[in-house]
Amino acid sequence: MFTKDGVCDWCKKHAQVKKLSYIDGKANFACKECYDTAKMDVRLYNLEQASFVAQMQSQNTHQQSA
C-alpha cells in the first residue's frame, strides 16, 4: 500500500511511498513508479548481503580453525 507520504529514495520525488526493508534492518521508500525497480534493487542487495555474510562466516570459521 502506497499510503505513506514521503520522498521516494529512487526518483527523489515527493509521493505516496511504500516501505522496503533490507536484510540488515535498513529501509528505503519507493513510489508506485519506482516500486518494481526498487523491489529488484532490494532483492539484489539482500542476495549480496546474504552471500557476503556467508563469506565472512566461512572466513571466520577458517581463521578460528587455523
Toward Zn ion, which CB reaches closer, 31 or 42? 31
- What is the smallest separation between the CB atom of 46 and Zn ion, expressed in angstroms? 20
3-state DSSP of 8-56? CCCCCCEEEEEEEECCCCCEEEEECCCHHHHHHHHHHHHHHHHHHHHHH
Toward Zn ion, which CB reaches closer, 4 or 52? 4
- Determine which residue in the list 20, 28, 29, 34 makes contact with Zn ion, applying CB under 5 A: 34
**How far is residue 23's CA from residue 3's CA, in Å, rounded to a whole number?**
23
Contacts with Zn ion by CB under 5 A lie at: 8, 10-11, 31, 34
